[in-house]
Amino acid sequence: MEQTTRRVAVFGAGYIGLVTGACLAELGHTVAVRDILPERVELLQAGEVPIYEPGLGDMILRNKERLRFTLDAEDAVRGAEVAYVCVDTPPTASGDADLSRVWAVVDALKEASHLLALVVKSTVPVGTGRRIRAALDAAGLGHVGYASNPEFTAEGRAVSDFMNPDRIVIGTSDTATGDLIKGLHAGVDGPAVAMDIASAEMTKLAANAALATKITLANELATVCEATGADIEQVTAAIGMDHRIGQHFLKAGLGYGGSCFPKDSRALHALASNSGYSFQLLRTVIEVNGLQARRHLQRLKDELGGFEGRTVALLGMTFKAGTDDMREAPSTIIAARLLAEGAAVRCWDPMAQPGPGQPWDSTTRHASPLEAMAGADAAVIVTEWPELRDAPWAEVRAAMRTALLLDGRNLLDGAAMAQLGFTYMSVGRPTVRP
């Protein structure tokens, strides 16, 4: 395909906005990224990246001739041909998505009659695009195309996911806009899938619901494995070899977290509820996920004989490895539950930077897994950091008061840990004792 470079304004310099802006610049487009937070924009203008995302800093630096950051919406959109909306859509009290930031961008574009298209990447309820289309028409911007172009990138691999996606979903009602957005992606290695706007909006929510359900299936099967003596790792490895099931997203653990799955599953559930339909499968997924960390903590409590006056090491605070993101991380529930039960909590994480506030203010932070576990009565692996696989477990064994470990990520080999003297509990596998 012949490459036409475009001038693009990206609204929102969060994970999605920064990755989108940087990748579009990498593809040759000229990009202005606008955010409303002065400190964020200043940092970016100074060449620093406010989030941890592999490859993103280098990409921003490499494309600095074509990529700039601004606080000013008018400045961002001046001369732009395409405007991307990448702002966040947090849940409201009713469980609906808060679209105020999306609408603020649409309002800021009311004078931008030179635009060719407005593209929404933010995750929005089905029907939002239709309303935005109507608002554009009412503002005399009927000639500005509209597209829903949801994002499926995962944190920690967002740059490579953007450049090599499984698919690029482009939802629009006119082919010219579809072709324009497809052209913007020239150089991206992945098929474009054209559809209507509502279906594109639904595809984003449906993809996350499918993945959250798959993880939850593994977690539910793990519980049955625990009750029956089967080993979930062997079971998921074998069912995953069936191409109809696939191996991905079958890893049992302490429940999914992050900025997407919890929020989007609740948003899809709320969307269904608003039309009077109870999405029962999704409701169960949400409930099971909420129970997961609590249930395993209860197993640990039973094994230890109570948490009151005990010291517990919490290993990993981020919602998954390879990110500094702690949004909806199971670690938060675990830390709060341990404190509520009267335990002292000693934490380790190589990247997490929780702001001030509970539960973290009442915990202590340590420089290494060994240091966090020294003197502890029990330890919980919450995040699958490689440092934990490679921790000096023999030294840890000697340093802990009681060698009790709950491996919430099935990271370690139970037999080896028992040989070192640990009582080793994990998810969906038999507990192994020294």
Residues that bind ligand UDX (CB under 6 A): 151-155, 208, 211, 215, 249-251, 253, 256-261, 319-320
Distance CA 152, CA 156 (A): 13
Return the structure tokens found at 419.
């040989």
CB of 343: closest distance to ligand UDX in angstroms? 23
For the CA atoms of 141, 144, 147, 149, what is the dihedral angle to 10 degrees? -110
Break the chain down into helix, strand, coil percent, rounded to 5. 40, 15, 45
Tokens found for residue 424: 């080793």
Residue nearest ligand UDX, CB atom distance = 260
* DSSP secondary structure letters along 126-173: TTHHHHHHHHHHHTT-TTSEEEE----PPTTSHHHHHHS-S-EEEEES
CB 282 → ligand UDX: shortest distance, Å?
15
Q: Of the two residues 70 and 203, which places its CB atom closer to ligand UDX in the complex?
A: 203
Beta carbon nearer to ligand UDX, 116 or 206: 206
23 is a catalytic site residue: no
The least distance separating ligand UDX from the CB of residue 407, rounded to whole angstroms, comes to 13
CB of 256 vs ligand UDX, minimal distance in Å: 3
Closest distance of CB 239 from ligand UDX, Å: 13
Q: Which is nearer to ligand UDX, 213 or 259 (CB)?
A: 259
Check 86, 225, 260, 347 and give the catalytic one. Answer: 260
| Residue 38 exposed, middle or buried by CB count within 10 Å (0-12, 13-18, 19+) | exposed
| CB closer to ligand UDX out of 76 and 205 | 205
DSSP secondary structure letter of residue 63: T
Consecutive H or E run containing 419: helix 414-419
For 35-158, strand residue ranges (E) read 67-70, 82-85, 117-120, 145-148
Nearer residue to ligand UDX within complex by CB, 116 or 192: 192
Catalytic residues: 260
